[in-house]
Amino acid sequence: MTTHNSADFSIHNLPWGIFSLPGESPRVGVAYGDQILDMAAVAELDLFDFDTSVFYEDHLNPFIALGKQVTSRARTQVQSWLRDEQGPLSNHDHLFIPQSEATMHLPVRVGDYTDFYSSIEHATNVGKLFRDPDNALLPNWRHLPVGYHGRASSIIVSGQNFHRPKGQVMPPNATSPVFKASTRLDFELEMAFIIGKDSALGEPISTGEAPDYIFGMVLFNDWSARDIQKWEYVPLGPFLGKNFASSVSPWVVPLEALEPFRVPGPRQEPVVLEYLRCNGPQNYDIQLEVGLRPDGGEESVISRSNFKYMYWNMPQQLAHHTVNGCDVRVGDMLASGTISGPHPGSYGSLLEISEGGKKPLTLADGSTRTFLEDHDTLTLRGYAEKDGIRVGFGAVTATVLPAK
Amino acid sequence: MTTHNSADFSIHNLPWGIFSLPGESPRVGVAYGDQILDMAAVAELDLFDFDTSVFYEDHLNPFIALGKQVTSRARTQVQSWLRDEQGPLSNHDHLFIPQSEATMHLPVRVGDYTDFYSSIEHATNVGKLFRDPDNALLPNWRHLPVGYHGRASSIIVSGQNFHRPKGQVMPPNATSPVFKASTRLDFELEMAFIIGKDSALGEPISTGEAPDYIFGMVLFNDWSARDIQKWEYVPLGPFLGKNFASSVSPWVVPLEALEPFRVPGPRQEPVVLEYLRCNGPQNYDIQLEVGLRPDGGEESVISRSNFKYMYWNMPQQLAHHTVNGCDVRVGDMLASGTISGPHPGSYGSLLEISEGGKKPLTLADGSTRTFLEDHDTLTLRGYAEKDGIRVGFGAVTATVLPAK
Q: Nearest CB to B237: which of A148, A166, A240?
A: A148
Question: How far is the first Cα of chain A from the last one, in angstroms, to the nearest whole number?
Answer: 34
Distance in angstroms (rounded) separating the CA atoms of residues B34 and A362:
70
Instruction: Residue A11: name the closest of A87, A65, A63, A68 by CA.
Output: A87
Whether residue B1 is predicted with pLDDT greater than 70 in this model: the reply is no
Domain with CATH 3.90.850.10 in chain A: 113-401
Q: Taking every pair of C-alpha atoms in chain A, what is the biggest distance, in angstroms? A: 74
Q: Are A11 and A37 in contact (CB under 8 A)?
A: no
Q: Are A292 and A376 in contact (CB under 8 A)?
A: yes
B178 strand-pairing partners: B169
Q: Do the chains contact at A201 and B153, CB–CB below 8 Å?
A: yes
pLDDT in tens, B279-315: 999 999 999 999 999 999 999 999 999 999 999 999 9
The CATH class given to the A113-401 domain equals alpha beta
The 3-state DSSP class for residue B171 equals coil
Domain with CATH 2.30.30.230 in chain B: 16-105
Query: What contacts A259, CB < 8 A, 6 or more positions away?
Result: none
Q: Are A258 and A14 in contact (CB under 8 A)?
A: no
Distances in whole angstroms, Cα of residue A45 to Cα of each of A40, A93, B122: 9, 13, 62
The 3-state DSSP class for residue A299 equals coil
Tell me which chain A residue has its CA closest to the CA of residue B145. A232
| Bind-site residues of B | 115, 117, 131, 188, 190, 222, 229, 233, 242, 246, 338
- The alpha carbon torsion through B57, B62, B63, B69 (nearest 10 deg) reads -170
Distance in angstroms (rounded) separating the CA atoms of residues A250 and B286:
46
Judge residue A300's burial from the number of C-beta atoms within 10 Å of its C-beta, 0-12 exposed, 13-18 middle, 19 or more buried: middle
- Per-position DSSP letters for B242-270, written without gaps between them: TTT-EEE-S-BEEGGGGGGGEE--PPPSS
Q: What are phi and psi of B177, to 5 degrees?
A: -75, 160
Q: Nearest CB to B404: which of A178, A202, A238?
A: A202
Provide the whole-model pTM: 0.97
Query: What contacts A173, CB < 8 A, 6 or more positions away?
Result: none
Q: Do the chains contact at A178 and B273, CB–CB below 8 Å?
A: yes
| CATH fold group of domain A16-105 | SH3 type barrels. (2.30.30)
| Tally of CB atoms within 10 A around A72 | 14
Instruction: Residue A122: name the closest of A140, A141, A148, A143 by CA.
Output: A141
How many CA within 13 A on the CB side of residue A273?
Answer: 20
Distance in angstroms (rounded) separating the CA atoms of residues B367 and B29:
40
Q: Do the chains contact at A233 and B233, CB–CB below 8 Å?
A: no
CA distance B302 to chain A (A): 27
Q: Residue A194 is inside which H or E element, if any?
A: strand A189-195
Tell me which chain B residue has its CA closest to the CA of residue A116. B236
Q: Are B239 and B264 in contact (CB under 8 A)?
A: no
Strand A162-163 and strand A389-401: pairing? parallel
Substitution target from B113, B149, B228 for chain A, most A beta carbons within 10 A: B149
Distances in whole angstroms, Cα of residue A62 to Cα of each of A55, A108, A251, A255, B125: 9, 9, 16, 18, 46
CA distance A266 to chain B (A): 20
pLDDT in tens, chain A (404 residues): 444 568 999 999 999 999 999 999 999 999 999 999 999 999 999 999 999 999 999 999 999 999 999 999 999 999 999 999 999 999 899 999 999 999 999 999 999 999 999 999 999 999 998 888 898 999 999 999 999 999 999 999 999 999 999 999 999 999 999 999 999 999 999 999 999 999 999 999 999 999 999 999 999 999 999 999 999 999 999 999 999 999 999 999 999 999 999 999 999 999 999 999 999 999 999 999 999 999 999 999 999 999 999 999 999 999 999 999 999 999 999 999 999 999 999 999 999 999 999 999 999 999 999 999 999 999 999 999 999 999 999 999 999 999 99
Distance in angstroms (rounded) separating the CA atoms of residues A30 and A49:
18
Distances in whole angstroms, Cα of residue B213 to Cα of each of B204, B314, B331: 12, 11, 11
ipTM of predicted complex? 0.97
CA distance A304 to chain B (A): 26
pLDDT in tens, B322-339: 999 999 999 999 999 999
Distance in angstroms (rounded) separating the CA atoms of residues A12 and A59:
23
Q: Residue B83 is inside which H or E element, if any?
A: helix B68-83
Q: Nearest CB to B325: which of A130, A150, A244?
A: A244
Whether residue B226 is predicted with pLDDT greater than 90 in this model: the reply is yes
Strand A35-38 and strand A27-32: pairing? antiparallel
